[in-house]
Structure 1
Amino acid sequence: MTRRTRARTGTAAAVIGAVAALGGLQGSTADAQTVEDVSTPSRTCHGKQPNGSRAGLGAPEENTPLERTLRHVDKLAQGRHSAVFTGLVLDEDEVSVDIYRIPSKPFDTAVCEAAEKGVTLRLHDRDINEKDLHALVDLMSEDMNRWDGTFTMREVGPDGTGYLHVGVDDPDTAEPILRKFLGERNAKYLRVEYAPQAHLL
């Protein structure tokens, strides 16, 4: 699977009832279980930076134009543009990155100027940033026993596209309960899906 979401802060998802969490350390990648609903980018830009202009030490697969562009985008998203960054999804086959952010001309200009030749960036509009999505994750994760007897929550985390992914054993039962819990304002970011029970390998 070559379409991936990137979790830059914390884990990509919290797995309930398992020893290990999905995702990993800051800057790690995890296979996307769900790709967002089809979205039309508000802007598309094609890389113009010379290939290898930011090459450094590391494994060959970490020094491709896509990975170098991605590292630079990460730096921008963690720095002065963190208030507008929501998430991203990369497609290695297409050598492209879909970036989700609160519309910002300075951020858009900075990431487009960061792209190396051969890399395509597609920018999508969202109205929530990564920090606020993680706050919703924390809210849902702080007491995992509150829904005992109604459904089992198995994973929760931002999906990279501006939504809160929640994996449960019974989506039909869980979704209305979770929407009420989050409230009308935040429920629009919720995506509830079936997730199998995690097992140790």
Structure 2
Amino acid sequence: MDRRTRARVGTAAAGAVLALAALQGSGAGAQTVADASSSPSSSVTVCHGTRPEGSLPDLGFPDDTPLQRTLNHVDKIAHGRYAEKFTSMAVDEEGSSADIYRIPSASFDAAVCGTAEKGVTVRLHDTDINEADITALADRISEDMSRWDGTFQLREVGQDGRGHVLVGVDDPETAEPILRKAFGERNAKYIRVEYAPQAELL
């Protein structure tokens, strides 16, 4: 992934590109800025940084930028006081912008927008599930990868970065209704089933 389409998620979300992806060398759960921008959302709030450039603490990296400093502080906000609201974040370094997915919260939005330095654009998208809950659902789906043998092959499990668990299988038409029934109506809307090719060992 190049600098323009770097995806950022918290520690818990990073762990949600789960064991299957690790074993098969999959890219499940990777998110690009194009993915983020095309995601349907009932509401998007856009804010432009007003904090003077350089007013946030320097991270100590040679290429430290207003965007990097802003994201460092957003990470702290998202995984601290507002952990119950935060879902995920995708970053466009060339465009000096970030797409943040969260359960709507005026105070969270104000905290994030108040953190952004000049030159940084933040887009806040509505979701209805937080990072911890989407990670827990991904964990449940991937717990027993051989459970579905004989009906379909479960090949990838990860997060799409917008409040869904992305499940890669060999036969989506067969797998989707089975998975939705297995994990219940409440969780069904958070499960996206797509075709994934069989990984090959190099």
What SS is found at the alignment partner of 1:183?
helix
Give the Å deviation of 1:121. 0.6
Give the Å deviation of 1:145. 1.1
What SS is found at the alignment partner of 2:76?
helix
Q: How does 1:31-42 map to 2 (within 5 A)?
A: 31-32=31-32, 35=35, 37-39=39-41, 41-42=43-44
Q: Tell me if the contact between 2:16 and 2:158 (Cα under 8 Å) persists in the aligned partners.
A: yes
Report the counterpart of residue 58 of structure 1 in structure 2.
Answer: 61
TM (norm. structure 2) is 0.85
The one-letter code matched in structure 2 to 1:51 is: E
What SS is found at the alignment partner of 2:35?
coil
Query: How far, CA to CA, are the matches of 1:138 and 1:103 in structure 2?
Result: 25
Report the counterpart of residue 163 of structure 1 in structure 2.
Answer: 164
Of 19, 35, 49 in structure 1, the residue corresponding to residue 23 of structure 2 is 19
Query: How far, CA to CA, are the matches of 2:22 and 2:58 in structure 1?
Result: 38
Per chain length, whose mean CA-contact separation is higher, i.e. which structure has more relative contact order (CA < 8 Å, sep 6+)?
2
TM (norm. structure 1) is 0.85
Percent identity of paired positions between Structure 1 and Structure 2:
56
Q: How does 1:124-143 map to 2 (within 5 A)?
A: 124-143=125-144
Query: How far, CA to CA, are the matches of 2:102 and 2:92 in structure 1?
Result: 18
The one-letter code matched in structure 2 to 1:120 is: T
Query: How far, CA to CA, are the matches of 2:33 and 2:171 in structure 1?
Result: 17
Query: How far, CA to CA, are the matches of 1:17 and 1:65 in structure 2?
Result: 33
Structure in which a larger fraction of residues adopt helix: 2
Evaluate the alpha carbon distance shift between residue 125 and residue 167 of structure 1 in structure 2; reply closer, same or farther with a 3 A threshold.
same
RMSD, aligned CA: 2.4
Query: How far, CA to CA, are the matches of 1:143 and 1:68 in structure 2?
Result: 40
Query: How far, CA to CA, are the matches of 1:102 and 1:181 in structure 2?
Result: 26
Query: How far, CA to CA, are the matches of 1:176 and 1:133 in structure 2?
Result: 19
Runs of 4+ in 1 over 6 A off after TM superposition: none
Query: Structure 1, residues 121-161: CA drift from partner, whole Å, max 9, x if none?
Result: 11111111100001101111111111011111121122111
Evaluate the alpha carbon distance shift between residue 153 and residue 4 of structure 1 in structure 2; reply closer, same or farther with a 3 A threshold.
farther
Q: Tell me if the contact between 2:33 and 2:90 (Cα under 8 Å) persists in the aligned partners.
A: no
Q: Tell me if the contact between 2:24 and 2:200 (Cα under 8 Å) persists in the aligned partners.
A: no
Report the counterpart of residue 175 of structure 2 in structure 1.
Answer: 174
Report the counterpart of residue 195 of structure 1 in structure 2.
Answer: 196
Query: Structure 1, residues 58-98: CA drift from partner, whole Å, max 9, x if none?
Result: 241xx122222111111111101001111112222322111
Give the Å deviation of 1:41. 3.9
Query: Structure 1, residues 13-40: CA drift from partner, whole Å, max 9, x if none?
Result: 12527536657xxxxx945498253336
Deviates more, 1:2-11 or 1:45-54: 2-11
The one-letter code matched in structure 2 to 1:81 is: Y
